[in-house]
């Protein structure tokens, strides 16, 4: 059986840093061969190291740290097995499938716009293939949709999870609307677990304004950016 593969976040940025690192490293090597001033070689070598370092940080954040965050958020949702769970911006299914593994009679539904610039080879077929590889295909469904206008009725889900998605919405109004949509489709008594970069203090305020209680689960640095995990409950 094919192993599940959950992709790399911002693959274009990873590739760009690797390419630039190679260019700067080649420039440093050429400078040494041609006896150019030492400071030029030093600068080129430093820039090469910086590019390779950031590419490594991005890969580690995508392939290691993000999985740890996902496990923490799924645990915080405390799923009993019969819930209907939404993964808002599911990508290739990391959080979606982690939730599905906790279900017995429930269903995990993923929604995404499938932007490959945000996640490598991001498409619904890849998500469904990962669900099959992990043995949870019967508990998973995916839909194409925008999280600022979710294609679901009010109070449709017992729990919601979203990991490194909302910050991709370019405007604050758009991010606020996405959070209000998550609150709208959540059932009373339901829980929302969110991990994201940069804007999480605002997320907490918007969710509180929507009537949810919010607690901060963790603070950390991923992709060299400040990030937080939030858990919100709807009364």
Does residue 144 fall inside a structural domain? yes
Whole-number pLDDT of residue 116: 87
For residues 197 and 201, give the distance between their C-alpha atoms in angstroms, rounded to a whole number: 10
Q: Return the pLDDT at 33.
A: 85
Q: Is residue 196 domain-shared with residue 87, that is, in the same domain?
A: yes
Q: Are residues 123 and 228 in the same domain?
A: yes
The HSE-up count of residue 204 (CA atoms within 13 Å, CB side) is 16
CATH (domain of 224): 3.40.50.150
Residue 16 domain boundaries: 11-60
Collapse the DSSP code of 139 into the 3-class scheme (helix H, G, I; strand E, B; otherwise coil) and give the result.
helix
Q: Which DSSP helix (H) or strand (E) runs through 108? A: strand 107-112
Task: Say if residues 177 and 209 touch (Cβ distance below 8 Å).
Answer: no
Q: Are residues 125 and 30 in the same domain?
A: no
Is the sign of the CA dihedral 125, 102, 6, 214 positive or negative?
positive
CA distance 134 to 132: 5
For residue 105, being part of any structural domain is answered with: yes
Residue 117 pLDDT: 87
Q: How far apart are the first and last CA of the chain?
A: 43
161 in the same domain as 122: yes
Domain assignment of residue 67, yes or no: no
Per-residue pLDDT of the chain (235 residues; tens, 9 = 90+): 578 999 999 999 999 999 999 999 999 999 888 888 998 999 999 999 999 999 999 999 999 999 999 999 999 999 999 999 999 999 999 999 999 999 999 999 999 999 888 899 899 999 999 999 999 999 999 999 999 999 999 999 999 999 999 999 999 999 999 999 999 999 999 999 999 999 999 999 999 999 999 999 989 889 889 999 999 999 9
Residue 122 sits in the same domain as residue 43:
no
Work out the number of other CB atoms within 10 angstroms of the CB of residue 64.
Answer: 10
Residue 147 included in any domain? yes
pLDDT at 61: 94
Tell whether 123 and 20 lie within a shared domain.
no
Alpha helices in the chain (DSSP H): 11-33, 38-60, 66-77, 94-100, 124-133, 172-185, 200-209
* pLDDT at res. 118: 87
The answer to whether residues 85 and 111 belong to one domain is yes
Asked if 23 and 105 sit in the same domain, the reply is: no
| Reported pTM | 0.90
- Domain total in the chain: 2
Task: Give the C-alpha separation, 234 to 229, whole Å.
Answer: 17
Residues 192 and 114 in one domain: yes
Rounded Cα–Cα distance for residues 93 and 124 (Å): 9
Residue 228 and residue 120 share a domain = yes
Q: Do residue 85 and residue 130 come from a single domain?
A: yes
* Same domain (yes/no): 126, 204: yes
Residue 4 domain-assigned (yes or no): no
| Six token digits for residue 55 | 């590419």
**Predicted local confidence at residue 28, as pLDDT:** 93
């Amino acid at each position: 059986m094919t192993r599940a593969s959950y992709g790399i976040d911002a693959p274009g940025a990873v590739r760009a840093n690797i390419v630039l690192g190679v260019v700067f490293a080649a420039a440093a090597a050429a400078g040494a061969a041609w006896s150019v001033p030492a400071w030029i070689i030093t600068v080129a070598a430093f820039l090469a190291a910086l590019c390779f370092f950031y590419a490594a940080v991005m890969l580690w954040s995508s392939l290691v740290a993000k999985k740890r965050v996902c496990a923490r958020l799924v645990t915080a949702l405390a799923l009993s097995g019969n819930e209907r769970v939404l993964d808002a911006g599911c990508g290739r299914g990391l959080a979606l499938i982690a939730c599905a593994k906790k279900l017995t009679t429930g269903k995990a539904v993923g929604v995404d716009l499938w932007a490959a610039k945000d996640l490598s080879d991001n498409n619904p077929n890849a998500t469904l293939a990962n669900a099959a590889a992990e043995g949870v295909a019967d508990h998973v469904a995916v839909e194409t949709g925008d999280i600022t206008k979710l294609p679901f009725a009010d109070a449709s889900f017992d729990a919601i999870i979203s990991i490194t998605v909302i910050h991709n919405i370019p405007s604050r109004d758009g991010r606020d609307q996405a959070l209000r949509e998550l609150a709208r489709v959540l059932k009373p008594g339901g829980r929302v677990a969110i991990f994201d970069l940069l804007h999480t203090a605002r997320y907490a305020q918007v969710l509180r304004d929507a009537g949810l209680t919010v607690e901060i689960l963790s603070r950390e640095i991923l992709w060299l950016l400040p990030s937080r995990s939030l858990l919100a409950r709807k009364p």
